[in-house]
Amino acid sequence: MDVIFWIATNVFGTPAILLGAIVLLGLILQKKTVSQIVSGTAKAVIGFLIIGAGAGVIVNALNVFEPMWKEVFGLEAESLGQFIGQESFNAKYGSAVTLAMLIGFLINVLLARLTKFKYIYLTGHMMFWTSTVFAGVVIHVAGDVSFWKLVLFLSIVLGLYWTFQPALTQPIMRRVTGNDHIALGHTSASVALIGGLLGKVLGNRENDSEKLRVPKGFEFLRDSNVVTAISMGVLFLVGAIVVSLKGTPGAQQLIEKAGSQNFIIYSIVQSLTFAGGIAVVLMGVRMFIGELVPAFNGIATKIVPGARPALDCPVTYPFAPNAVILGFIGAFVGALIWLVVLGNTVAYIFVPTMIVLFFHGATAGVFGNATGGTRGALLGGFATSTVVAWGQFVMVKFLITSTIPDTAMWAADSDMFILGPVIALLAKILF
């Protein structure tokens, strides 16, 4: 059992190691040379770690952006009352969560082998957080469920989810990538599908975000890095000006983060840093995918014939970089609206996690653009903020209140919010 837990934690709980092992196995099964095996495995792991490094840069910039806009609206994190909390929850239920994650992955591989749904879910960090949040819902609804009952329930739910989620998104994913080589394996799948549907119904596919015509002299807008910098620059600048004009203690604390540097200049630098993070992520994705897809053929042909890897949402970004930004803008505008609406209707202080809004809104934007062009991308982003805002309210207030509502406010996201009520209902019936 200790060996199983070690593998679950150190292999399946470490995405770079998991994906490196997959590439290694694929290359070995294809009988590549030692040089090809070492090179391919190393470049795949490095590419994935580059994605993480870029994401870290993005997160650091958003950690300035989020409190800035909370201060703009005068929001404070509300007291969640009595709850277990993530640290204590991990100590008590962490083993069940990691074991369920491992078994759920094996169920996913088995289903891919035996059914027509040939997708293997490889987004390791989301595998962990999905397992954790679903466990939090079960424990809140059903009480202190026994170890093996919890493991069995979570394993089956997760195995099914990781198998069928990529299948549901693949028709539009195929349109995004232009081929059938990879699939989307990420908890943004629900809003991606909604974005694709809204784009189809209300958008105009001919108005592709990647073919935007710009006036002469504005050709620089065709560069996705420039578009990112300008879009985020405006949002950071507006937030910084408002904060600078406020005399509240919270505003002063934010301004002090800039040190001796002017806060507005500091904020502009953060926006450019964010753009740099996006550029790093895209580079890592290209490097990672360039090694993973060929290597995966070894697994597809030897173990799971016809299988496709279901990967993290940034794999979609290089195919429509303008839509990435449009999706986030739509999500951000929607978040501002729902901040006000939720506060004035259900008295809930929505915490707009910009990390979720960006990555999920961007994915929904790409899918929305694939079916409905620029308008579809914006609508996909707005739909993301709607799901995240109201989903967070329902999750924190009703589904996970006594366990890990703190985690739900930053680590839970679109698919978890959509599936949360289903998990709660099943837990009530079965336990």
The residues, ordered by sequence, that sit 6+ positions from 210 with a Cβ below 8 Å of its Cβ are 320, 321, 322, 323, 369
Structure confidence by residue, pLDDT tens digits, 185-227: 999 999 999 999 999 999 999 999 988 765 666 666 567 788 7
Under 8 Å between Cβ of 200 and 371: yes
Under 8 Å between Cβ of 130 and 416: yes
Structure confidence at residue 87 as a pLDDT band (50, 70, 90): confident
Percent of the chain with pLDDT over 70: 94
Tokens of 210: 């990647």
- The separation between CA 302 and the C-alpha centre of its own chain, rounded to angstroms, equals 30
| Window from 10-19, 99-108, 139-148, 154-163 with minimum mean pLDDT | 10-19
pLDDT of residue 221: 59
- What does the DSSP assignment read for 260-289? TS-HHHHHHHHHHHHHHHHHHHHHHHHHHH
What's the whole-number mean pLDDT along residues 133-154? 95
Upper half-sphere CA count for residue 68 (Cβ side, 13 Å): 29
pLDDT of residue 1: 65
Structure confidence by residue, pLDDT tens digits, 269-307: 999 998 898 888 888 888 887 887 777 667 776 788 888
For residue 206, which phi and psi values (nearest 5 degrees)?
Answer: -65, -25
- What does the DSSP assignment read for 349-376? -----HHHHHHHHHHHHHHHHHHHHHHH
Residue boundaries of the structural domains of the chain: 2-430
What's the whole-number mean pLDDT along residues 324-338? 92
Please check the confidence at residue 107 and state whether its pLDDT lies above 70: yes
Structure confidence at residue 397 as a pLDDT band (50, 70, 90): very high
pLDDT of residue 359: 92
What's the whole-number mean pLDDT along residues 398-407? 92
Listed ranges 94-103, 218-227, 311-320; the one with the highest mean pLDDT? 311-320
pLDDT of residue 344: 83
Helix (H) or strand (E) holding 160: helix 147-177
Long-range own/partner contacts, residues 79-83 (CB < 8 A, 24 or more apart): 80/396, 80/401, 80/405, 80/406, 81/401, 82/402, 83/401, 83/402, 83/403, 83/404, 83/405, 83/406
Kindly report the number of other CB atoms within 10 A of residue 146's CB atom: 10
